[in-house]
Structure 1
Amino acid sequence: MPGPDVRTHDNVLGEMSAEPTATVHSGVEAKTERKLTVLESHGYMLGRTIGSGSYATVKVASSDRHNCQVAIKIISKFQAPGDYLKKFLPREIEVVKGLKHENLIRFLQAIETTHRVYIVMEYAENGSLLDIIRKDQHIDETRGRRWFKQLVEAVDYCHERGVVHRDIKCENLLMDHGLNIKLSDFGFARGHMKPKNGVFALSETFCGSYAYASPEILKGVPYRPQDSDVWSMGVVLYAIVYGRLPFDDTNYTQLLKEHAKTSKEEIKSVNIGTVTYDRKLEEVK
């Protein structure tokens, strides 16, 4: 899996992202038309923005290649942290390329240029589970049972293939046209995590959203990421049933008392309620 510094217009799948220039001749003069953008050269026409962060934007696009609407995550190399570009992003692309399940957002293509990385994926048109919970406040048992079953099947599929997600939350559970769960955002995922001789490898990358994080992550001790995924699924189930989260991640002290009984000083670099990877970035041992 190549890192982010590759030749201009080479993408991570080895395809060329050429930017052709069309010319038309009138007499002895030639008129140069507008260059195609990288995405246009691949058959994508960008539409509205459906999500944005400090260094990435997600837009809807129409696709000639796939004959449907897609979602494109656009990552700026100038704004993204170096650890994300060198470690997490290549890992994310490597992981999602090998996954295909009806309850996972489908990866379609990745394109890399000098300035940006584009990840093209299936578009889930009905927003997220969080949007539905906020709108309806209460999820009835029929929908809740079906959605949680779909989440369990998606995570089981990943774990059976040695993939751990490490950022399961309501915001990352998207809804397709049929209101089926689609687990998305594998930015903190890791592959090759199958147990060997019954022994599970431990992770020391403390990531995810703190309202959904397991006690081990809050304590900052090595943890089994499969178990952490299951903990996060339990938080999602609680949110489905009660319409709120079990732990208040806006109350810094109380969150730590409830979860890990860890002093404030031990995790002072963490911003509660945000995804973080600034505490420790060791590889999984």
Structure 2
Amino acid sequence: MANAQATVVSAILEKHGYQLGRYLGKGAYAIVWEAYFKTWQTNVAIKVVLKEKAEAEFLTKFLPREIQVWKSLKHPNIVNFYQSIETTNRVYVVLELAPGGEVMDMIRTKGACDEKMSGKWFEQLCQGMAYIHSKGMVHRDLKLENLLLDKNNNIKISDFGFSKQAATDLESLNHVKLSETYCGSYAYVPPEILQGLPYNPFLSDVWSMGVILYTMRTGKLPFDDSNLRRLLRQMIKGPIFSQKHKSISHECKI
């Protein structure tokens, strides 16, 4: 199946100047490959969305919105969008390659980051998200798996599948229409989402950023998402810093 898929994908990409490279991973609806773009003489990442596996709402609503949002973003800490190619059975989304992989994978392998590295990455995350929010857009699925690293170990925000235009300008950020769609992963979303309440999507992104910083510094998520009731109680109580975390500065904790 994988070989057959690669053969078809390779043939399509060749027509557009791409040479298919190594397999990078897959999600529910997509397979990701590295490819070489002959015109620019550079490697890129290509997310191949399989239409037959995707839900209708994803194809008609979320995917077009993701591509539209991604097209409008250009920032050093956001994965660049290059182009999309649609065929009868697939959508090919061509993106900047982040060869360093996911931040989450690095934490799983090496454990918690020191304060210097966490500070660098969190600052870059803040800069990228400030830019996104300044355009009236929200991400709504921030997590360590969606933070990639470039060849210089810099943060690149990725995966805009749940993103949307939530405000038209900066002045309207004080009068944001609340979201009611559940988005994100349990461990990263604010309590109002778990409670099924309308929520401010900008503040939801900020909450997720706090979860990311805690996990960078401690090597584990602040809240246990294996039980939703317990998860909600922990969120309301707030994150715990044990004796093992005494090396974390007061400034980082607050």
Residues 254 and 198 from structure 1, CA distance in 2 versus in 1: closer, same or farther, beyond 3 angstroms?
closer
The C-alpha deviation readout for 1:189-239, integer Å capped at 9, x for no partner, is 002524538311211111111110111111111111000000000000000
CA–CA distance in structure 2, aligned partners of residues 252 and 204 of structure 1: 19
Aligned counterpart for 2:159 among listed residues 163, 185, 205? 185
Gaps (5+ residues) in structure 1? 1-33, 262-285
CA–CA distance in structure 2, aligned partners of residues 198 and 168 of structure 1: 22
Structure 2 residue 225 is matched with structure 1 residue 249: yes
TM-score, structure 2 as length reference: 0.85
Aligned counterpart for 2:135 among listed residues 144, 161, 171? 161
Deviation, structure 1 residue 258? 2.6
Q: Are the aligned partners of 2:141 and 2:162 in contact in 1 as well (CA < 8 Å)? A: yes
Instruction: Give the root-mean-square deviation of aligned CA atoms.
Output: 1.8
User: Which residue number in structure 2 is paired with residue 110 of structure 1?
Assistant: 84
Query: Which AA in structure 1 matches 2:230?
Result: Q
User: Which residue number in structure 1 is paired with residue 249 of structure 2?
Assistant: none
Equivalent residue runs for 1:249-268 within 5 Å: 249-259=225-235
The C-alpha deviation readout for 1:95-148, integer Å capped at 9, x for no partner, is 000100000000000011111001000000011111111122121111110000
Deviation, structure 1 residue 50? 1.2
Q: Are the aligned partners of 1:218 and 1:260 in contact in 2 as well (CA < 8 Å)? A: no
Q: Are the aligned partners of 2:112 and 2:215 in contact in 1 as well (CA < 8 Å)? A: no
User: Which residue number in structure 1 is paired with residue 53 of structure 2?
Assistant: 79
Q: How many residues align?
A: 227
Q: Are the aligned partners of 1:137 and 1:243 in contact in 2 as well (CA < 8 Å)? A: yes
Aligned counterpart for 1:144 among listed residues 85, 102, 118? 118
Residues 232 and 197 from structure 1, CA distance in 2 versus in 1: closer, same or farther, beyond 3 angstroms?
closer
SS at match of 1:51: strand
CA–CA distance in structure 2, aligned partners of residues 57 and 217 of structure 1: 29
Deviation, structure 1 residue 259? 3.6
Larger Rg: 1
Deviation, structure 1 residue 156? 0.3
Equivalent residue runs for 1:9-28 within 5 Å: none
Query: Which AA in structure 1 matches 2:225?
Result: D
Greater helix percent: which structure? 2
Residues 260 and 219 from structure 1, CA distance in 2 versus in 1: closer, same or farther, beyond 3 angstroms?
farther
Query: Which AA in structure 2 matches 1:123?
Result: L
TM-score, structure 1 as length reference: 0.76
SS at match of 1:196: helix
User: Which residue number in structure 2 is paired with residue 205 of structure 1?
Assistant: 181
User: Which residue number in structure 1 is paired with residue 36 of structure 2?
Assistant: 62
Q: Are the aligned partners of 1:218 and 1:259 in contact in 2 as well (CA < 8 Å)? A: no
Aligned counterpart for 1:37 among listed residues 8, 11, 14? 11
CA–CA distance in structure 1, aligned partners of residues 48 and 236 of structure 2: 36
Aligned counterpart for 1:123 among listed residues 97, 100, 106? 97
Gaps (5+ residues) in structure 2? 1-7, 238-254
CA–CA distance in structure 1, aligned partners of residues 101 and 68 of structure 2: 25
